[in-house]
């Protein structure tokens, strides 16, 4: 049965960081992330002041709390004593959208509730959970995953379109958060987007080689797809469907062949008529041509001069956005209208003091620049034996660099304890990215 996402709202007075951390720990302690996938905090809260917060609930019907949540006594925590309106009131995302701020809405739904990075403790079990969480190759697709598969088929059939058409299609398929969906599709190599954010285009169909732990050659299918294409592929080779970890993106199309001769035969039989590109190992190719993060910053789109006194500002301090005076130092800022009835930031930008320029880029990329600007230590952990790589959610890489990690397996990162885990990461790929992102990678206990 299809699941609906709705929200419960509460009021709390104390530290928002403490609330986020403790609620997140309870979510994972009771294994409730399937039912409570995200937490949203009221924007512009003052230190230790009263604020509203909302927890997302996924259930078959709005207002019906899953029994697993009730039985865990999760809602008996002290944070849930004062309802936002009245006991049991439920909200949609549109209801609360004006109240919640982007400063805390930083979590991609490939991972549940975020909170501040944990202390630097090396945990030997960080790399132990992935195999049990990723659906095996022969599993059947869930209803949730099927919606995203339908979306990819629609995009493939149309070829290109506007951002408005993309949002309307997501709405018809009952897919929430189209901006986040778009980012996942880009990470998986299915779609590209114009720099001005107004138009999308489907990527050409490509068979991408990924690392293999057996004698078989392994590939994934990226870009334009159709039922006819998949049926044709299944006539000549073994095709498996792998659900994404949180079933919030199209499943990975996984192909296995026993030799390169067979992949050549596959191209001859299928690729000629259906225009399939042999893209080889895209993750390594992409990582090798990506610039150093400093050059990437210099190549970001620069905005014309902004009259800063015409706006209100918040600056990212490494954890949250906080009110500030006019921007004078390099960092990540949110720009607000001086009309206090408008609660949504007009833009999120990076100010580079050295060049006196305002830079546009993907949200996570700007945050990554901000973290390096304030010289905040970034955690980068790699297990060469399992070929797993771990980074904190709060230090997620810029989109184009993360795409190199995702295309190494065709699987979006798995989430555990506020960390992201990527699989099938070869040592040379890890070393390439760590070098270009100014990080240090030296095995399982690496910190930058």
* Residues 307 and 436 both lie in one domain: yes
* Residues 319 and 443 both lie in one domain: yes
- Residue 101 within a domain: no
Look at the chain and report how many structural domains it folds into.
3
* Residues 383 and 268 both lie in one domain: no
* Residues 326 and 239 both lie in one domain: no
Which domain-ending residue is among 229, 264, 280? Answer: 280
* Residues 312 and 442 both lie in one domain: yes
* Dist. CA 340–CA 145, nearest whole Å: 40
Length of the chain: 448
* Residues 47 and 175 both lie in one domain: no
Please report which residue ranges of 85-226 form alpha helices under DSSP H. Answer: 93-96, 130-133, 143-158, 163-172, 178-187
* Dist. CA 126–CA 97, nearest whole Å: 34
Q: Tell me the CATH number at 76.
A: 3.30.70.940
Q: Looking at the whole model, is its pTM more than 0.75?
A: no
- Residue 378 within a domain: yes
Sheet arrangement for strand 331-336: 301-303, 357-360, 347-352, 331-336, 312-316, 321-324
- Residue 113 within a domain: no
**Is the Cβ–Cβ distance between 229 and 205 less than 8 Å?**
yes
* Residues 179 and 239 both lie in one domain: yes
Which domain-ending residue is among 248, 280, 312? Answer: 280
- Residue 107 within a domain: no
Burial class (CB in 10 A: 0-12, 13-18, 19+), 295: exposed
- Residue 108 within a domain: no
* Dist. CA 175–CA 221, nearest whole Å: 23
* Residues 14 and 86 both lie in one domain: yes
What range defines the domain where residue 143 resides? Answer: 134-280
Residue-level pLDDT, tens digit, the chain, 448 residues: 567 888 999 988 887 778 887 887 788 777 787 788 778 888 766 544 688 888 989 888 888 898 888 888 889 888 998 888 877 788 888 888 877 753 333 233 333 333 333 333 334 343 443 333 333 333 444 567 889 999 999 999 888 899 999 999 999 898 989 999 999 999 999 999 988 888 999 999 999 999 988 778 899 999 998 888 888 888 888 899 999 998 899 999 999 887 665 677 777 777 656 677 777 889 999 999 999 999 999 999 998 788 999 999 999 999 899 999 899 999 999 999 988 787 889 999 999 999 999 999 999 999 999 999 998 888 888 998 899 999 999 999 999 999 999 999 999 999 877 899 999 999 999 999 999 999 876 555 333 3
Which domain-ending residue is among 280, 295, 327? Answer: 280
**Is the Cβ–Cβ distance between 380 and 105 less than 8 Å?**
no
* Residues 258 and 145 both lie in one domain: yes
H-helix or E-strand spanning residue 360: strand 357-360
Please report the pLDDT score of residue 70 as a whole number: 85
H-helix or E-strand spanning residue 324: strand 321-324
* Residues 123 and 177 both lie in one domain: no
* Residues 246 and 359 both lie in one domain: no
């Amino acid at each position: 049965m299809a699941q609906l996402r709705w929200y419960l709202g509460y009021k709390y007075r104390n530290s928002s960081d403490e609330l986020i951390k403790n609620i997140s720990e309870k979510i994972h302690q009771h294994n409730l992330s399937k039912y409570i996938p995200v937490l949203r905090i009221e924007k512009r809260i003052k230190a230790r002041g009263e604020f509203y917060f909302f927890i997302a609930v996924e259930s078959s019907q709005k207002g019906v709390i899953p029994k697993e949540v009730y039985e865990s006594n999760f809602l008996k925590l002290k944070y849930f004593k004062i309802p936002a309106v009245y006991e049991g009131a439920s909200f949609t995302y549109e209801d609360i959208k004006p109240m919640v701020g982007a400063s805390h809405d930083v979590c991609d739904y490939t991972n549940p509730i975020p909170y501040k990075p944990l202390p630097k403790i090396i945990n030997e079990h960080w790399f132990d959970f992935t195999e049990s969480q990723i659906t095996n190759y022969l599993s059947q697709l869930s209803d949730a995953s099927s919606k995203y598969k339908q979306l990819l088929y629609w995009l493939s059939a149309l070829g290109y379109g506007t951002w408005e058409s993309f949002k309307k299609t997501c709405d018809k398929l009952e897919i929430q958060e189209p901006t986040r969906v778009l980012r996942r599709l880009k990470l998986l190599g299915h779609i590209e987007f114009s720099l001005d954010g107004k138009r999308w285009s489907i990527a050409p169909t490509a068979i991408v080689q990924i690392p293999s732990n057996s004698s078989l050659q392994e590939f994934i299918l990226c870009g334009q797809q159709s039922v006819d294409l998949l049926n044709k592929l299944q006539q000549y080779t073994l095709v498996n469907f792998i659900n994404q970890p949180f079933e919030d993106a199209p499943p990975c199309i996984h192909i296995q062949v026993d030799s390169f001769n067979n992949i050549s035969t596959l191209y001859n039989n299928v690729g000629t008529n259906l225009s399939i590109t042999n893209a080889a190992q895209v993750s390594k190719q992409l990582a090798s041509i990506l610039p150093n993060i400093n050059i990437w910053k210099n190549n970001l789109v620069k905005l014309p001069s902004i009259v800063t006194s015409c706006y209100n500002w918040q600056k990212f301090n490494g954890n949250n956005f906080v009110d500030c005076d006019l921007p004078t130092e390099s960092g990540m800022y949110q720009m607000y209208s001086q009309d206090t009835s408008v609660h949504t930031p007009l833009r999120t930008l990076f100010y580079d003091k050295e060049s006196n320029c305002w830079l546009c880029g993907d949200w996570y990329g700007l945050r990554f620049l901000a973290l390096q600007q304030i010289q905040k230590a970034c955690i980068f952990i790699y297990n060469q034996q399992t070929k797993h790589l771990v980074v904190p959610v709060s230090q997620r890489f810029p989109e184009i660099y993360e795409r190199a990690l995702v295309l190494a397996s065709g699987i979006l990162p798995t989430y555990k304890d506020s960390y992201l885990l990527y699989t099938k990461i070869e040592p040379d790929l890890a070393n390439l990215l760590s070098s270009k992102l100014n990080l240090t990678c030296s095995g399982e206990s690496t910190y930058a």
